[in-house]
Amino acid sequence: MKTKILFAIAATIALAAGTALAQDGNARNDWQEKMKAQKIAFLTDRMDLTSEEATLFWPVYNRAEKEKRESFKEIISSYKALQDAVKEGKSEAEIKGLLFKYSEAKKKNEAVDNSYIDEYLKVLPAAKVAKLYLGEEQFRRQQIHRLNRPGDAQSVPGKGTTRPGGRSGNRSARPSRDSGQDNKTTK
């Protein structure tokens, strides 16, 4: 157990140091690296990897993450294009084409995730691959929970402490749905 903890710490430090040299060091990248290091430590613990397994697993996982990031960029790009087309009142045909492009980008992202199951099974037993997927979901939920706790919102550099959807960290400052007030500004 102590060896696994030391290995997780060493892997986290090595990953952070290697990527830090490649980064320009701005606050957003530092935040992303911190989250990446937390995720690596979390998954290493959840999956109960031996040092031999970790040596084989992490390169495959890093390739998968790189492909998923690229795929996610396509989702964001196609989403923005679709959103702009709707706002600008583009033609039905243009919106339909962009809608299919967005849907295909989402399918491609899911396909990347699915394609790596076989890769993971080549280096890990099925139970540990399952723990990977469960651990990723647990980590994601943990981060969402952390962001949604009043007074405990983590500041994302470049984003302030505003939560996704434009909500601030103080829930009590918002009018309730029952109060009859709305969130629109009145003139």
pLDDT at position 172, please?
A: 41
CA distance 50 to 20: 26
Tell me if the pTM is above 0.85.
Answer: no
Dihedral pair phi/psi, residue 156, rounded to 5°: -95, 115
Give the number of C-alpha atoms closer than 13 A to the C-alpha of residue 14, restricted to the C-beta side. Answer: 9
Question: What radius of gyration, in Å, describes the C-alpha atoms of the chain?
Answer: 21
pLDDT at position 70, please?
A: 93
Domain regions of the chain by residue span:
1-49+125-157, 59-123
Q: Compute how many other C-beta atoms are within 10 angstroms of the C-beta atom of residue 98.
A: 20
Low-confidence ranges of the chain (pLDDT < 70): 1-25, 151-187
pLDDT at position 123, please?
A: 95
pLDDT at position 30, please?
A: 84
Residue 76's Cβ-count burial label (10 Å; 0-12, 13-18, 19+) is exposed
Dihedral pair phi/psi, residue 25, rounded to 5°: 80, 10
CB 109 within 8 A of CB 117: no
pLDDT at position 33, please?
A: 86
